[in-house]
Amino acid sequence: MNALSPGSTIGILGGGQLGRMLSIAAAQLGFDVAIFTDEPDSPASRVSARAVVASYADEAALADFARRVAVVTTEFENVPAETAQALIGAGARVAPNPHALAVAQDRFDEKSYFASAGIATPPFRAIASQEDLDAAIAEIGAPAILKTRRLGYDGRGQIRINSAADAEGAFEKLGAPGILEGFCAFEREVSIIAARGWDGAVAFYDLNENEHAGGILSRTMLPARVSADIARTAQEAAQRVLEAFDYVGVLTIEFFVMPDGSLVANEMAPRVHNSGHWTIEGALTSQFEQHIRAIAGWPLGPTTRVAAIEMHNLIGADANAWPALAADPDARVHLYGKRDARAGRKMGHVTKLSF
């Protein structure tokens, strides 16, 4: 595609912090942004030229939105397939393509996809009944984790199975089609943030080392304590996924690093990612600008990291510490403008750089 001229309007589905940071990055390149969200007064709407507040099922609103923007992207992966279809049906160019979104919405499809692309995963089985679960545990063994196939996010909808006895009634408790994943006794967690343009050019950021607490990302550090081999394996995996989906934009894959030095893919996010927030100050091109460049048909920017990084999330009441954070000369403070600091809610993040 031809590169979009500055002054073009970029459409973003979703009004959260990722949309907010994407919108700011787009503005810095001279684009206008229109947000489509079902949330009034969303964090992203408040930094954007326009906001449409409507249901993701509102086909008329989606069609109107499609006509007013040069390209549509998304800040969350759980975009209903019908939403993407309505946009495309109305003539919108959508990036990344809805196929990547659909695969990332289903943990079984996602892991099957990794496996078919030669990317190592934990052992996994689709679970549609208690019988499936019992059989899968017999095959995979315990400990294992039973998760819903769809709409799982940040540790919700997961049941740990430590022994065959734990499996009793677990499928009923899950209440939805599931996936059983063998538990990985990993040494650490890493993620790779990669980007691909309309022209097929690919770029990678340095690997992120991540710590989670309660299923939510807590801390990201760079450089990650991994070998060059591991970094290369992660890049190769990302490249295969990007190319197989003819993907345009930023994509993230999370991996477990096993004690034997092997990498096991955990999940992918077809979007900018919390573990890449450090790129705002810590890389020559932020992941947000990179995503905008990619979907706008601009050349990808350099991903060079300029400092050692520690990023930590402000979850729920953590954000109440803003006076101390504001006074810390080492803390680059980002707050997302959320009105209500509910427990578990990502309210902001802090990046520390060591030059």
Q: Rounded to whole angstroms, how far apart are CA atoms 188 and 338?
A: 31
- State which residue, 258 or 308, has the beta carbon closest to a copy of itself: 308
Q: Are 26 and 70 in contact (CB under 8 A)?
A: no
Q: Work out whether 201 is an interface residue with a copy of itself (CB under 8 A).
A: no
Nearest approach, Cβ of 25 to a copy of itself (angstroms)?
10
What does the buried/exposed string (b/e) look like for 150-170 if buried means 16 or more CB atoms within 10 Å of the residue's CB?
bebeeeebebebeeeebbeeb
Regarding 308 and contact with a copy of itself (CB under 8 A), the answer is no
Q: Please tell me whether residue 316 binds a copy of itself under the rule CB under 8 A.
A: no
Residues 32-51 that bind a copy of itself (CB under 8 A): 32, 45-49
Assess 354 for contact with a copy of itself (CB under 8 A): no
Q: 144 vs 167, 180, 295, CA distance in Å?
A: 10, 7, 38
Q: How far is the CB of 21 from a copy of itself (least distance, A)?
A: 9
Q: Among 217, 313, 336, 350, which residue interacts with a copy of itself (rule: CB under 8 A)?
A: 336
The CA distances from residue 248 to 30, 102, 276, in Å, are 20, 15, 17
- Number of residues lying near a copy of itself (CB under 8 A): 42
Name which position in 28, 55, 116, 162 contacts a copy of itself (CB under 8 A): 28
Count of C-beta atoms within a 10 Å radius of residue 250: 33
Asked if 200 touches a copy of itself (CB under 8 A), the answer is no
Cβ-Cβ contacts under 8 Å for 128 (sequence gap 6 or more): 177, 178
What does the alpha-carbon distance between residue 95 and residue 150 come to, in Å, rounded to a whole number? 21
Are the C-beta atoms of 208 and 192 separated by less than 8 Å? yes
Residue 339 found at the interface with a copy of itself (CB under 8 A)? yes
Burial class (CB in 10 A: 0-12, 13-18, 19+), 307: middle
Q: Does 223 bind a copy of itself (CB under 8 A)?
A: no
- Binding letters toward a copy of itself, positions 272-291, x by CB under 8 A: ------------x-------
Stretch that binds a copy of itself, among 63-71, 102-110, 257-265, 334-342 (CB under 8 A): 334-342
| Token couple for 275 | 């573990």
Minimum Å gap between C-beta 242 and a copy of itself is 20
Rounded CA-CA distance 122/119 in Å is 10
Contact yes or no for 262/190 (Cβ under 8 A) = no
351 binds a copy of itself (CB under 8 A): no
Asked if 326 is part of the footprint of a copy of itself (rule: CB under 8 A), the reply reads yes
Which residue in the set 30, 169, 200, 223 belongs to the binding site for a copy of itself (CB under 8 A)? 30
Closest to a copy of itself by CB, 30 or 223: 30
Closest contact distance (angstroms) between CB of 245 and a copy of itself is: 24
Tell me the one-letter amino acid at 112.
Answer: S
Interface residues with a copy of itself (CB under 8 A)?
3, 5-7, 20, 23-24, 27-32, 45-49, 284, 293, 298-299, 301-302, 306-307, 319, 322-323, 326-327, 329, 332-337, 339, 348, 353, 355
